[in-house]
Structure 1
Amino acid sequence: MKPDFFSIAHHEMRGMLTVIRESISIVLGGTTGPINEQQSHFLDMAEKNVDEMTRLISNVFILQRLTSGKREFDMQEHDMNKVVEGVRTRMVSSAERKGLDLTLELDGDLPAAVFDKIMIGQVITNIVSNAVEFTEKGSIRIITSHKHGVVEVSVRDTGCGINERELSKLDRRLEHSGEGVHIKDSDTGLGLAVSKEIIARHKGKIWAESEPGKGSTFHFALPIK
C-alpha cells in the first residue's frame, strides 16, 4: 500500500509540537528553576502559538481529507456532553492565559446522538479557539441543549461582537463548488471552513448570532439519529 504522505506528515508534526509544548510547560511550572516575569511572558506567547499551530495543522489535514474524499466518518452514538467536557479540558489553559473563564452549561437530559466524535470535537475546538482569540475579558460558555429531534451546542462569549455587515460576510466565507471548498481569510477562516464542512456532512446546521459590544454566540445543531 502506498504511504499516505499527509497522514505521516500530520502525525510527525503533531508529535514534534507536543514535545515542544510539554517542554514549555515544564519550564513555566518552575521544575527547571525559577523564571522571571519577562521570561514567563515570552514562554506564554510560545505556548499559545504552539497551540494555534497544532489546531492549524489539524484543520489543514482534516480539510485535505474531506476534499479528497479520503475521510470516512466514524458515525456512532455518543454523549455530546462528554465531548464538550473534553474540549474544555484541552482549551481551559488557553482561556486562563487571557484571564477568561471557560465554563459549561450542560443539559442533564441530553440524549445520545450519532456523530463522528473526533470531527465534532474539532468543530467545538475551532469555535472555542475563535472565542478565546476575540474575547479580551469576561467569559466563554459552552452550552448543550436539545429540542425538536436535534442536539445543539452553543459557544457564547463576551467579546467585542460582530456588526450586521460582518456577520453577513461571515456566513459566506465558505463557498461550495464542483471543485471542492474555497477558503477565504486565514486561520479563523480555515477553522470556519472545516467546521461548516463537517457539520454539513452530518446533515446539521451551523450559524452565528452577535451584537457589537455584547459578544457573539456560535451554534451548531445535529440530528439525534
Structure 2
Amino acid sequence: MAGKKNSIALLLSFSFVLLIGLMLILLLIQIPIWLLLIISLIIAALLTVNMIRILHQQFEQISQTAVQIANGNHSLRIPELETKEFCALGKDLNFMLEKLDKTIYHLAVHREELRLVLSSIDDILWSQSSEGKLEWANEPFQKLFGNIGKKDNVFYTDIIRDPYLLSIIKDCGSSKDKLMKEIVMDNHNYLLSASHNDQAKRCIFILQNIDEIKQAEQMKKDFIVNLAHELRTPLTAISGFAEAMEDNINETNTRYLKIIQNHTQRLIHLISDLEQLIRLERTAAIELQVINLATFFANIAFILSPMVEEKGLYLKIELDEDLPYLTCDPFKLEQVFINLVQNSLRYTITGGITIRSQKLKNEALFEVCDTGTGIDNIHLPRIFERFYVADPARNKTQSGTGLGLAIVKHIVQLHQGSITVQSELGKGSVFSVFLPLLQAPETH
C-alpha cells in the first residue's frame, strides 16, 4: 500500500525525467524549437489529464462515502487512498466520524432518558412551534385532550377545545415573557406554565393539576374561620368580666388584671386580622370609586392622630397636585395606609411618618416613610409573609399580630398593584405602593 501512496509522485518524477530526456534527444537531432515546445506541451497535457483522473477517482470515493454516511450508514468509513494528501484527509474524516458516532450515541441515550422522565410525569406537557403546530406531547396530554398519534401537521387548535385555555395559549405565542397562570377547566384547577425556546422557535407548556392544593388551602381557611369563631366568644367574655372586675380589686390585682386585658385584646385583634385576611382571599372583588385623595388622607390622619400624638411623633401628608383623584376601593385602600402607618408607629421612637403621593406615567405611587429603627436587609424578602416579624425582640411591647403587612399586600394586589420596601437599620423605612390608574366603572 505504501507503493500505491507514492505512485503519483513516482509517475511525476518519471515523467519529468522522460520529458527532459526527450528534449535532449530532440535537440541533438536538431528538431526546431517550436516543434519541441509542441511535443513538450502534449506530453505535459497527457500527464496532467492522467493525474486529474486519479485525483477525481479518489475524490469520488470520498464523496460517495460521505453521501452514504449522510443517508444514515454511520458505520461506513472512508477507505485508505493512494494519494498521500487524500489519505491524510480520509483519516481526519474517519476520526471526525468516530467522534460524531459517540456524540450521536450519547444524544440517543439522553433522549431516551428524557422520554422516560416525561412519560413518568403526571403533569401535562407539550411543545409547539411558533405557528402552533404540535411538536410533541406526553401521554397525560393525550389522555386529557385526545390522541394525536403519529399524525403530521397537527395544531393545538385541532386538539384543545377549552376557549379560555386557547386564548391564553394564543396570547403566550405573541409574547416572549414567561407565563404562569391558574385556570379552571372542566371543574378542575390547573396551573399553566409556559416558556419560550427562542433558538428552536418553540414554546413549551406545563399544565399541573392543583386540585389537592386548592382543597388543602380551602381546608386551612375553613379551619381558621372556625377557630376564630370558637375563640372570639370566650375571649369576649373574658374581656368583659375583666372590665367588670376593675372597680372591686386591690392595686396589685389591678396590675394582673391589666395584663389579662392586654393579652385578651391582642388575641381579639389577631382573630380580627385572620378573619379579614380570609375574607380578602375568598373574594377578588373590589368596589371601585373615584375618591378625592386630599379628603381620603385627611380622614386617615384623623383616625390615626390619637396614636401619633400619644407617641409624640408627627404625621405629614404630602400630595402631588397632578394626582387629585384616584379610582380604587376606598375602604380597602384605607386599611392599607392605616396598617402601614401603624406598623411604622410601632418601630419609630423619634421623628415621625410622612405619606407622599406622585403621579407616574401609568400608575400612582404612594410612599409611607418613617424615621424608625429600620429593618435588616435579610428580613426584607419575607416582610410581607403571614406571621413574619422581622425582629420580635426589638419592640416586644408594641409587637403586632404579624398579619398587617400580609393584608396590605393582598389588598394592593386586588387593585392590580404592587408594594415594595426599602430600609436601613437606624435610618427608617420606605414602603412604596404602586397602583394602576384605573377607570371607574360606569353606573346606570
Within the candidate set 359, 362, 366, 1:146 is matched to 359
Contact 2:372 2:429 in 1 (8 A): yes
Q: Determine the structure 1 residue equivalent to 2:405.
A: 192
Instruction: Pick one of 312, 320, 336 that aligns with 1:99.
Output: 312
Over the aligned positions, Cα root-mean-square deviation in angstroms equals 3.0
Secondary structure of the structure 1 residue equivalent to 2:276: helix
For 1:86 and 1:57, locate their aligned partners in 2 and report how far apart those are by CA, in whole Å: 26
| 1:148 partner SS | coil
* Greater shift in the superposed pair: 103-112 or 58-67: 58-67
Tell me how far 1:143 sits from its aligned partner: 1.1
Alpha-carbon distance change, 58 to 84 in structure 1, aligned in 2, over 3 angstroms: farther
Correspondence 1:1-225 to 2 at 5 A? 56=270, 59-69=273-283, 72-171=285-384, 173=385, 183-185=386-388, 187-225=400-438
Distance (Å, rounded) in 1 between the aligned partners of 2:372 and 2:295: 26
**Higher relative contact order (CA closer than 8 Å, sequence separation 6+):** 1
Match of 1:30 in 2: none
SS at match of 2:295: helix
Secondary structure at the aligned position of 1:184 is classed as coil
User: Against the structure 1 CA distance between its residues 75 and 84, is the aligned structure 2 distance closer, same or farther, given a 3 Å change threshold?
Assistant: same
Instruction: Name the CA distance, whole Å, in 2 between partners of 1:56 and 1:77.
Output: 31
Gaps of 5+ in 2: 1-224, 241-257, 390-399, 439-444
Higher fraction of strand: 1
Q: Is the contact between residue 81 and residue 144 of structure 1 (CA under 8 Å) also seen in structure 2? A: no
By how many angstroms is 1:111 displaced? 4.2
Alpha carbons 2:417, 2:436 under 8 Å: kept: yes
Cα pair 1:139 1:158 within 8 Å, conserved:
yes
For the Cα contact (< 8 Å) 2:341–2:368, is it kept in 1? Answer: yes
Task: Report the alpha carbon displacement of residue 80 of structure 1 after superposing the two structures with TM.
Answer: 2.9
1:38-83 CA distance string (max 9 Å, x none): xxxxx9xx89x97x788656533321212223x7311122223322
Q: Secondary structure at the match of 1:189?
A: coil
- Cα distance change on mapping 1:142 and 1:55 into 2, 3 Å: farther
Q: Please, which runs of 5 or more residues in structure 1 have no aligned partner?
A: 21-42, 174-182
Between structure 1 and structure 2, the one with the greater Rg is: 2
For residues 184 and 67 of structure 1, the distance between their equivalents in structure 2, rounded to whole angstroms, comes to 16
Q: CA deviation at 1:155?
A: 0.8
Q: TM-score, normalised by structure 2?
A: 0.36
Could you give the per-residue CA deviations for residues 1-31 of structure 1, whole angstroms, max 9, x where no partner exists? xxxx99xx8xx99xx9xxx9xxxxxxxxxxx
Query: Structure 1 length normalisation: TM-score?
Result: 0.68
Indicate conservation of the 8 Å contact 1:137/1:158, yes or no: yes
Identity of aligned residues (%): 31
CA distance in 2, matches of 1:205, 1:83: 20
| 1:212/1:57 CA distance change after superposition, 3 Å | same
* Aligned structure 1 segments of 4 or more residues deviating by more than 4 angstroms: 52-58
* Larger helix share, 1 or 2: 2
Q: Distance in 1 between matches of 2:319 and 2:339?
A: 19
Q: May I ask how many residue pairs the two structures share in their alignment?
A: 177
